[in-house]
Structure 1
Amino acid sequence: MATTEQATDLVPGKVNGATAGKEFDASLTKGDVFTSRDVDAFEVPSFKDEIWRFTPLKRLRGLHDGKGVEVTGSVGLTVADNDGNPVDGVSVENVTTDDPRIGEAGEPRDRVQAQAFTSTDTATIVTVAKERELETPVVVKMTGPGEDKVAFAHTQIRVERFARAIVVLDQVGSGTIGENVEFIVEDGGYLEVITVQDWEDDAAHLAGHHLKVGRDARVRYTAASFGGELIRVSADGHFTAPGGEIEMFGLYFADDGQHIEHRLLVDHDTPNCRSNIMYKGALQGDKASKLPDAHAVWVGDVLIRAAATGTDTYELNRNLILTDGARADSIPNLEIETGEIEGAGHASATGRFDDDQLFYFQARGIPEDVARRLVVRGFFGEVIAKISVKDVRERLAEYVEDELALVGV
């Protein structure tokens, strides 16, 4: 990953809006984007920047341009099991952001991530001890700072060698939140992490998620986005040794006036690693409303470098448009520098209800409204079934039902 010093003779601004150089290097890949903890090393984003072209900048409340970043609140953070008790084998530390462990999974890749990094002096490190196999999920609950308040946070989840854990990152409340979250899985470890963005309607949440996967380690990452006025989650993953595996799943439901954006990058720079990505979203708007259209953005980047022989990867995105007044942008990208791979592919589709499916149900005596619900349940069910935590599965299924009730489906 390029650092500020390494990029001084380039113009990463052509790639991700940074200003640390003079001469553009056309050989730069998606994985070579400029990184820095210095906010001023990045240009103020504009719609001309590829990584910001879908984001409604006027709705970011100054997080991107330095005009609205005064910290006026704080997030609440608790780490416990489902019953609110400490989890044996898990330690929680509050450290300063100059702790050498902070930034290990990845440095800020855009101006907002840098702003979040420099706007907080403390970070929380949650560590699962070596060779521990947790029997209960660890719930990391974050509560927003409150309506009209701004807060920043930095959290790191570490799974040490040969440990196994399930972590639920549950985000609720109101306010404007910028954050960075690191997920580090050491050699032989396993982490299933479910991030749930269940914000109140007024919330704006911009996050950078960074995944680092060791030798023969595995990460199953699921992002579920339902609440909030604006959600933008940028997640990047990379491997440190052969045998690693990253699975990334997601589901989102955008209503009238909501903007939900997921940007992914899996950087295959190591031989014999595997990645699998599947995100599904539904959208429902109101053509007569004065609010902006319901808008979902999914950008999936997979980079296979020349050294990453034996790579096996696939990415898929599906969007279901339930009403007028909704828009989905879906962009899968594959960048391949070697032909010595096991496989690589991508797929993307956006559309309305499948008339053949509805006809199939109705031909068997099922009313149209019930048929529509069954189609949507099945659409999301493939992703929800990937989650091993029963309570979370049921909670997400209820979200889907509540959203469908709003539009009368």
Structure 2
Amino acid sequence: MTAPTTAPAEAQHTNAHIDPAAQVADAGFVPVQTRSERPHSFDPTDFGAPSGREVNWKHTPVAQLKPLFEVAAPNDGVSYAFPAGEEYVAAPLAAGDAPRGEVFLAEDITAAVAWQGAAEALHIRIPREEEVAEPILVQVTGLGAGLRADAHIVIEALEHSSATVVLAHSGSAQYSQNVEIIARDGSRLTVVSLQQWQDDAIHTSAHQARVGADATLKHFVISFGGALVRVNPNVELAGNGSEGYLYGLSYADAGQHLESQVYLHHKGAHTKGDVLYKGALQGEGAHSVWIGDVLIGANATGTDSYEANRNLVLTEGARADSIPNLEIETGDILGAGHASATGRFDDEQLFYLQARGISEEESRRLVVLGFLSDIVQRLGIPALETELLATIETELAAVTA
């Protein structure tokens, strides 16, 4: 499979090693600290392999990601199936074929590798004014440990359309993925990225979305399986009256690294954003990373925005890193805030349940289910909600096994 070597002209860059802080040792160099200032390129060599000192890599085990720093050859590590909604799969998009590249700009080396390695992009297209009642399901199956694959996926909801797209990942692979999401004016789009990989899978994914005027995007990142999973959503509320709801759920077991770096950019006026990620961790070396960046731009008057991350540590040896950031460039807003909390069980909740005759083990189970089901119930997909609650029950059973 031949890798394209060109990118949209407006996004090409030629500076070497442009990862933030990559040249921190050079005299006079000031590392990029804010998400909005990060440079972009479609050429992996422009970034250079990260060392782990860069601001966007310092919480990630970069040595484990080394296979993803070069374009896959051959690109045979995953297969795609469409149990539901295959009629909405349009012709594949080569680099330069609209709308591929309309929104997407690679922010790091793995995103640039995925762009180059995906000679053809999967294109899911919802026609204008069409309401798709049932979720469109894309099954992404890894074909084996050590097999490499690069992918670019474009999900496009045309004006005043409505749909839900679920990307369900399973099996094992070393997978670099870009997901480009375009919600045209007046559309209602839900995108769910579900990671249920086997224990040896490595998956990095850059989700970048633009939401048009009076359009709404609901975006979910749900991660259970995989050795290292890093899904980074970047959503621009570009049109006036646009709304973005970014939700996440992760459950990290021993030795797992589950990460999301979330960026929400309020660009249009009277936009609304809500970011809520929740995670549970158990086992030695279980590690979750959440970095949330919200930018309220100079023209984003009337903005209403809030972001939060909550983590529940269930056993010794687990670690959650949580970093919320907020930039505001206009004072004319309805409200903005951010919060982060990481802790163990609430002793008062446990006492309350045990005082009513519920065993300690059952009390802990109920607390965890109540904590995580908040995200599950926002999906609005009954079959998937039932499946995820069953998965959480299975994870909880391992704590006491």
Is residue 17–residue 47 contact of structure 2 (8 Å, CA) maintained in 1? no
| 1:186–1:80 CA distance, 2 compared to 1 (3 A) | farther
**C-alpha separation between the residues in 2 aligned to 1:403 and 1:256?**
11
| Long gaps (5+) in structure 1 | 287-292
Q: Show the counterpart of 1:175.
A: 173
Give the counterpart letter for 1:304 in structure 2.
I
1:257 to 248, 255, 270: 255
1:221 to 199, 219, 222: 219
| 1:168–1:4 CA distance, 2 compared to 1 (3 A) | closer
Q: Show the counterpart of 1:62.
A: 67
| Long gaps (5+) in structure 2 | 1-8
2:301 to 306, 309, 312: 309
Is residue 145–residue 176 contact of structure 1 (8 Å, CA) maintained in 2? no
| 1:108–1:23 CA distance, 2 compared to 1 (3 A) | farther
Q: Secondary structure at the residue paired with 1:47?
A: coil
1:193 Cα deviation from its structure 2 partner: 1.5
Q: Show the counterpart of 2:361.
A: 369
Q: Show the counterpart of 1:320.
A: 312
| 1:155–1:27 CA distance, 2 compared to 1 (3 A) | closer
Matching of residues 6-405 of structure 1 within 5 Å: 13-14=19-20, 17=22, 29-64=34-69, 66=70, 69-71=72-74, 73-81=76-84, 86-87=86-87, 90-286=88-284, 293-405=285-397
Is residue 270–residue 308 contact of structure 1 (8 Å, CA) maintained in 2? yes
1:271 Cα deviation from its structure 2 partner: 1.6
**C-alpha separation between the residues in 1 aligned to 2:76 and 2:375?**
35
Using the size of structure 2 for normalisation, the TM-score is 0.92
Q: Secondary structure at the residue paired with 2:207?
A: strand
Q: Secondary structure at the residue paired with 1:124?
A: strand
Using the size of structure 1 for normalisation, the TM-score is 0.90
Identity of aligned residues (%): 40
1:7 Cα deviation from its structure 2 partner: 8.8
Please list every run of at least 4 consecutive aligned residues from structure 1 whose deviation after the TM superposition is greater than 3 angstroms: 2-8, 10-15, 21-29, 68-72
**C-alpha separation between the residues in 2 aligned to 1:190 and 1:119?**
30
Give the counterpart letter for 2:121 in structure 1.
A
1:264 Cα deviation from its structure 2 partner: 0.5
Q: Secondary structure at the residue paired with 2:68?
A: coil
| 1:4–1:393 CA distance, 2 compared to 1 (3 A) | same
Q: Secondary structure at the residue paired with 1:44?
A: coil
Give the counterpart letter for 1:177 in structure 2.
Y
| 1:69–1:400 CA distance, 2 compared to 1 (3 A) | same
Q: Secondary structure at the residue paired with 1:50?
A: coil
**C-alpha separation between the residues in 2 aligned to 1:227 and 1:218?**
29
**C-alpha separation between the residues in 1 aligned to 2:163 and 2:213?**
17
| 1:28–1:39 CA distance, 2 compared to 1 (3 A) | same
Q: Secondary structure at the residue paired with 1:106?
A: coil
Is residue 114–residue 176 contact of structure 2 (8 Å, CA) maintained in 1? yes
Q: State the Cα RMSD in Å.
A: 2.5
**C-alpha separation between the residues in 1 aligned to 2:205 and 2:302?**
31
Is residue 20–residue 38 contact of structure 2 (8 Å, CA) maintained in 1? no
Is residue 42–residue 111 contact of structure 1 (8 Å, CA) maintained in 2? yes
**C-alpha separation between the residues in 2 aligned to 1:153 and 1:146?**
16
Q: Secondary structure at the residue paired with 1:148?
A: strand
Q: Secondary structure at the residue paired with 1:63?
A: helix
What is the count of residue pairs matched by the alignment?
393
Is residue 23–residue 29 contact of structure 2 (8 Å, CA) maintained in 1? no
